[in-house]
Structure 1
Amino acid sequence: MKVARFLVGAAGVAVMGVGVSLLLDVRDLAGVLVWLGGALVVHDVVIAPLVLLAGMLVRGGVRGPVRGALIVAGALTVVALPVLLRPGPRTNSSVLPLDYPRNWLIAMVAVTAVTLLWAAVRRLARRRPPS
């Protein structure tokens, strides 16, 4: 287990190194730092309190799936915010050519469906008598 943890940690440090090297090529570093700061604020002010509140309100075997769904939905929403908040006509049709609000909604429906399935399987597994 210690080797696996070390390897996962080393992979994480390597990916962070790639991210830092890519950050050095950014022309608008201030804009990126504002975006990263905004992501931290959204996490600390919106996502984390919602997950904690759900943990307090939801009882039974669905607490974990609900918390997981909120974390995934929050992360997907934070990533999608730039294209969700700036819709409108584009002079270049190849820039952001997809229907991002619709695709974000599809992702939210998929997260909800997987969460409901996961909760149902957990509930059925708890009701089944041991063999």
Structure 2
Amino acid sequence: MRATRILTGVAGTALMGVGAFLLSDTGDVTGVLLWLGGAVALHDALIAPLVLLAGLLLVRGGWRGPVRGALVVAGGVTAVALPVLLRPGPTANSSVLPLDYPRNWLLVLAAVAVATVLFTAARRLVRGRRRPPSP
């Protein structure tokens, strides 16, 4: 376990170095830092409290954790997708954002929901098999 942690730490540090290099290589460092700060603020001020509140009020039983996890993933995907979801209408150059991003975003959210249901059902199935029969 210790080797895994060390390797994960080294890989994370290396990726942060790559990110810092790429950030310094771009011409608009202020814009990137502003966008990153906005993403952190969006997460801490809106996404995290809504996820916790939804998990507390809407979900009971063994579904609370998986639903919270799914909401965190959905919130993160939405935060990353916001720039292309909120883009202005068609552009003169069709190669700039050529995909149907709202549809793809909805497909990713549907995949997260399906994965959450399958994970929770599998977990309940495994837990049900571990319990000894009642006398």
* Partner Cα separation in structure 1 for residue 7 and residue 54 of structure 2: 33
Question: 3-state SS of the aligned residue for 1:24?
Answer: helix
Match of 1:110 in 2: 111
Q: Deviations over 1:56-115 (max 9, x none)?
A: 232321122111101111111111000001141111111110000000011011111111
* Partner Cα separation in structure 2 for residue 130 and residue 15 of structure 1: 46
Match of 1:10 in 2: 10
Q: How many residues align?
A: 131
* Partner Cα separation in structure 1 for residue 113 and residue 104 of structure 2: 14
1:88 aligned partner, one-letter code: G
Match of 1:93 in 2: 94
| TM-score normalised over the length of structure 1 | 0.91
**Which protein, 1 or 2, shows the higher relative CO under an 8 Å CA cutoff with sep ≥ 6?**
1
Match of 1:34 in 2: 34
1:33 aligned partner, one-letter code: L
Over the matched positions of the two proteins, sequence identity in percent amounts to 66
Deviation at 1:130, TM superposition (A): 3.7
* Partner Cα separation in structure 1 for residue 88 and residue 125 of structure 2: 43
* Partner Cα separation in structure 2 for residue 119 and residue 67 of structure 1: 12
Question: 1:87/1:107 Cα in 2 relative to 1: closer, same or farther (>3 Å)?
Answer: farther
Moved over 4 A (4+): none
Residue segments in structure 2 that go unaligned for 5+ positions in a row: none
| TM-score normalised over the length of structure 2 | 0.89
Residue segments in structure 1 that go unaligned for 5+ positions in a row: none
Question: 1:87/1:118 Cα in 2 relative to 1: closer, same or farther (>3 Å)?
Answer: farther
Checking the alignment, whether the CA contact within 8 Å between 1:61 and 1:122 is kept in structure 2 is no
1:37 aligned partner, one-letter code: G
